[in-house]
Amino acid sequence: MEYLKVRDHKDLIRDKNSKAILTKDTETLNKYKEERALRLKLASIAEDYDGLKSEVGEMKEMLKLILERTSK
């Protein structure tokens, strides 16, 4: 593959065939990937938490209904 330098950016190169801009700074790229994976994991955990919170609320309502019906 042939690469061209990107003006004013020492860590970036352009692929001559695809015209894609790539980074040569693997340390920063790996750090970005780790941070992105962490953000996605946290978003998933938050979604799970919200789902569980909703289910617990539904269970509480069902228990209240059961207690009302059995106490009559």
DSSP tag of 72:
-
Banded pLDDT at 1 (limits 50, 70, 90): confident
Encoded tokens for 69? 């019906």
In the chain, % of residues over pLDDT 90: 93
Q: How far apart are CA 52 and CA 2, in angstroms?
A: 52
Banded pLDDT at 71 (limits 50, 70, 90): confident
CB 23 within 8 A of CB 11: yes
User: What are the structural domain ranges in the chain?
Assistant: 3-70
The mean of the pLDDT values for the chain is: 95
Encoded tokens for 51? 């789902």
Mean pLDDT, residues 27-44 taken together: 96
**Residue 6 pLDDT more than 90?**
yes
